[in-house]
Structure 1
């Protein structure tokens, strides 16, 4: 594996976790939760999908258990949430957050599919595990904040983009494309698909 590609994946992973945790902090602030509540919501948003996947696949240890540094970072974000949100709102506009969120959706969905394949899951099950990894953190966030989950009330094809990208990953896997390139291509596909649907306000039929 080329060191630069490994670095690119690591950076994308950090951006994905940051974007998901940040969205959790925003929701916690709207609900006027204290630091404990903000930490729980941010943590669940960032790692909820992967944890549900690992539970379904009987996979241990959980991702967030193995990567303590990310948990500590989210803990610090929650403690200093008012200051952190004020600073980041100046550094990141809505479009930047949309891009990082789309990167998170892509990378988490593809990694979930890959992990399910390693666990000898059939193709359709593997794609569903990928979608769960990508979107379920947001579902749990909304449930904790007493909201109808966004993917059930926003008709923009959020989960559909993840589903299509997971199938792309499976297709490239069958073609024996190198895994690191497969991850990058499939993540880029989900990212671009998500941004296009948002840009042109493409919605699923009711």
Structure 2
């Protein structure tokens, strides 16, 4: 499974914001850097199918050689992580993860809970499934957020500065763990960041955008 951006041009009105050619193989991370307003988050929105007027996109977006330009966002199987974990505070940790699971996956409630417990154990959050998400630390919430993203079985993951609000000691740990999980699941990813350390840790191609 690979993500291909072929002659992808994003414009606002008649002004070209960015022009990207890149292929992200499974398990690899493409890092996009640049100042605020350069179009980093706009690129993620285009891939996710959430780009609206006054922006427009031309070129081809492929996932596993399938063109997805005209697919609605909910059919693209693109997962996203942001600066904030954006967990549902009225749900438990387990309920947050279960919410993202495809309806056809683990339809038996017992099997679903077993799968969730396995995921939580893998990130050292065993026995926390019934806790409220607002009782977790920032690092724990980040791990649950990524588990929820992975539970949706995405073909591509988009990372919009997901480590920027973590303290320095925790940032390196969560960053390394996130990239390890993407590699283990063979998922191509696009990372938007201002931090060169993030780009270096990602270990893939780096695209630097100029100011608009």
TM over 0.5: no
TM-score (norm 2): 0.28
Structure in which a larger fraction of residues adopt helix: 1
Higher relative contact order (CA 8 A, sep 6+): 2
Q: Which has the larger radius of gyration?
A: 2
TM-score (norm 1): 0.28
Structure in which a larger fraction of residues adopt strand: 2
